[in-house]
Amino acid sequence: MRESNVARFMAEQDIDDFATLVARSIAEPEWFWDAVVRFLGLPFDTPYEQVLDTTAGIEWATWFGGGRCNAATMCLDHLPPDEPAVIWEGEDGRTRTLSGSELRTLTDRIASGLAARGVKQGDAVGLFMPMVPETVAALFAIAELGAFFLPIFSGYGADAVAIRLQDAGAVAVVTADGFKRRGKVVAMKETADAAVVQAPTVHTVLVVSNGCPDAPMHDGRDIRLDDLPEAPFDARPVDSEHPLFVAYTSGTTGRPKGAVHVHAGFTVKVAEEVAFQTDLRRGERLFWLTDIGWIMGPWEIVGTLAAGGTLLMYDGAPDYPGPDRLWSFVARHRVNILGVSPTLIRALMAHGDEPVRAHDLSSLRVLASTGEPWNEGPWRWYFDVVGGGRCPVVNISGGTEVGACFLSPHVVQPLSPCSLGGPALGMAIDVFDDDGRSLRGEVGELVCTKPWPGMTRGLYRDPQRYLDTYWSRYPGVWWHGDFASVGDDGQWFLHGRSDDTIKVAGKRLGPAEVETVVVAHPRVLEAAAVGVPDELKGETLWVFVVPGPGVEPDDELRAELFGCVVDALGPSFRPAQVRFTTALPKTRSAKVLRRLIRSVVTGSAPGDLSGLEDPGAVDAIAAAIAGVTGAGAAAGAGASRGRSA
């Protein structure tokens, strides 16, 4: 693909093959990231003097030292004024388009309004918004001020919003009066009000009109965006390491972790990823089904516009009012790059091929995904049915704290189904055993041995927790907490979270190994495997299964699933229980919360649940535990100390 961005970059750098580029980008990160800035034309108001500085240790590496810039300038200044910058569609079918000049005008208007209310450089501003054009403008407006934004999931309850505002000491919140989900109005402003009551540092709430005109307004504190006058605003250049946003991610304890990301490092890294990994070219259209509260929200906004593309946004359920809603959106807006989670594909493929084939998806050029490991059946459906067998699946993996990707395919390399390709450009990724030795051909711990521009600059107001979480397992090496492996062909694969490891009679097993076997059954939609404490074996294996549409969850199916696991993994890993459920508890980024399932089984404290997408899934797991019968009860009798059936 000679016309791809990465191929053009290779030609510019006089590099003949992709493997050489990967190796050099890892060996010479300062060369690579400086070349990326120049290739993408990312502007610095004051040129940087040093690309990388590790004098404080790899854990506290800084980038683009001596430079001054602003993420808003990097993303907005080069947009064609009369071309679409943002195209939005709501669940009710409404659409809006903002040109480059219109987006800049709206951004300046919000920045001026917040500045007039006393928001200043270094202040925290909550961004509690649905995915609408004003979300993009507000993000850049906060950046223009030199304040930093807190991306907060639009579906959070008041307490989850409040804890983030409290932790950051937020002085303002940008929110919407409401939004629609599955045809019903969600009164977002009421949630924001209840949260702000618990966050006394907040003095301003900026309200975007989005379908709830009767939302309550508080005199002296609240102001509507509609009432702000248009006013130009000059983005304030800040130090390259100045905070851009703090993204909160759920921890195993009751307190979320705030990952700090900065103007230069985050912008450069995600612009490179959008340009090189998804191969977005100037003027093309990228759509990732996400929320501002997931790292992919800031990723797609900053990365798409910094790379010179057009950002597509949808605010609504992807299968409402029918199972073809996502595919009709792609066709209607001529999407070139589509990003989804494997969980969404598993859900949509249950409706069959016809909802996809009913729409012209010929505009698609690259398919992308993240959030969790793939199973081969859904991956092939995505590749064959959605992409017509012609679009590469760029399956990326990183995290909120990574601020980017550790692993990613590129369109210039051959790929295997479900693969993550290999280390992303400039990323010194490896797989370690328990003693810190590099592994190949076996499952081990995913690590990173060198710094990268997008890495978190610590956890907000908690540097020791940052060091303990990521740098204590292998000194001087970032431990990510994922199981990974590298095949004989050099393709990399993930195998789930290593802190979800199941140990049965001393034998270690990743839950993804079990789940892959179970979901391969044609009558199974989803599965989650967890280890449950056992006096004899240490742990026993429990598997929770969501049957496919119209499937009767009977003892015959349960027995077949027992057999599938034994045949694939051996008798030692025969499940103690196979339980049927209507839903699995997941985060907003579609990751299954296995620790929550385990806590329901054992009756232990579940930890932080603010990232839980559907609280009803917890009740579904509890019902599955209480309702086991037949073969499952017989298989599990006396085998576990979990909650009795």
- The three state secondary structure string of 36-61 is HHHHHCCCCCECCCEEEECCCCHHHC
**Cβ pair 469, 459 in contact under 8 A:** yes
Contact 313, 331 (CB under 8 A): no
- pLDDT tens-digit map of 211-249: 888 899 999 999 999 999 999 999 999 999 999 999 998
Residues lower than pLDDT 70 in the chain: 250-255, 499, 505-508, 588-590, 607-608, 610-611, 628-645
Please give the domain boundaries of the chain with CATH numbers for all domains: 501-636 (3.30.300.30)
Bridge partner residues of 50 (DSSP): 65
Q: How far apart are CA 431 and CA 491, in angstroms?
A: 13
402-447 pLDDT, tens digit per residue, is 998 999 999 999 888 999 999 999 999 999 999 999 999 888 999 9
* Residues 361 and 380: beta-carbon distance below 8 Å: no
In the beta sheet, which residues pair with residue 399?
A: 404
Q: Alpha-carbon distance 1 to 535, whole Å?
A: 57
What letter represents residue 406's amino acid? F
Q: What are phi and psi of 570, to 5 degrees?
A: 105, 160
Give Cβ neighbours of residue 614 (< 8 Å, ≥ 6 apart). Answer: 583, 585, 586
How many Cβ atoms from other residues are within 10 Å of residue 14's Cβ? 6
**3-state SS record for 116-146:** HCCCCCCCEEEEECCCCHHHHHHHHHHHHHC
Query: Tokens 């093309």 identify what position?
Result: 284
Helix (H) or strand (E) holding 16: none
- Which residues are CB-neighbours of 70 under 8 A, at least 6 positions away? 45, 143, 144, 146, 235, 236, 237, 238, 263
Q: Which residues of 147-159 are buried (b: 16+ CB within 10 A; e: fewer)?
A: bbbbbbbbbbebe
Residues in Cβ contact with 631 at an 8 Å cutoff, skipping those fewer than 6 apart: 555, 558, 559, 562, 578
Pairing type for strands 507-509 and 524-534 reads: unpaired
Written as six digits, the tokens of 446 are 């995913």
DSSP-assigned states of every residue in 318-375: TTSSSTTHHHHHHHHTT-SEEEE-HHHHHHHHTT-SHHHHTS--TT--EEEE-SS---
Residue 592: what pLDDT?
Answer: 84
Number of C-alpha atoms within 13 angstroms, CB side, residue 512? 20
What are the DSSP calls for 476-492, one per residue?
TBEEEEEEEEE-TTS-E
Instruction: Please provide the size of the chain in residues.
Output: 645
Q: How far apart are CA 558 and CA 631, in angstroms?
A: 7
pLDDT number for residue 404: 83
Q: What is the pLDDT of residue 509?
A: 73
Q: Please state, in angstroms and rounded to a whole number, the distance separating the CA atoms of residues 416 and 345.
A: 18
Q: Which of 173, 203, 201, 178 is nearest to 188 (CA)?
A: 178
Between CA 322 and CA 225 the distance in angstroms is: 33
CB contact at 8 A, 625 and 582: no
> What does the alpha-carbon distance between residue 386 and residue 356 come to, in Å, rounded to a whole number?
7
Predicted local distance difference test score (pLDDT) of residue 629: 35
Gap between the terminal Cα atoms of the chain? 57
Tokens of residue 240, six digits: 């390259």
| Residue 611: predicted pLDDT | 67
Residue type, 225: L
Asked whether 449 and 428 are in contact (CB, 8 A), the reply is yes
Tell me how far apart the alpha carbons of residues 280 and 274 are, in angstroms, rounded to a whole number: 6
The whole-number pLDDT of residue 639 equals: 32
Q: Where are the alpha helices (DSSP H) in 181-295?
A: 188-197, 263-276
- Which pLDDT does position 462 carry in this prediction? 93
Closest C-alpha among 342, 489, 484 to residue 427? 484
pLDDT at 636: 35
- Within 10 angstroms of residue 389's Cβ, the number of other Cβ atoms is 9
Contacts of 116 (CB under 8 A, 6+ apart): none
CA distance 172 to 231: 20
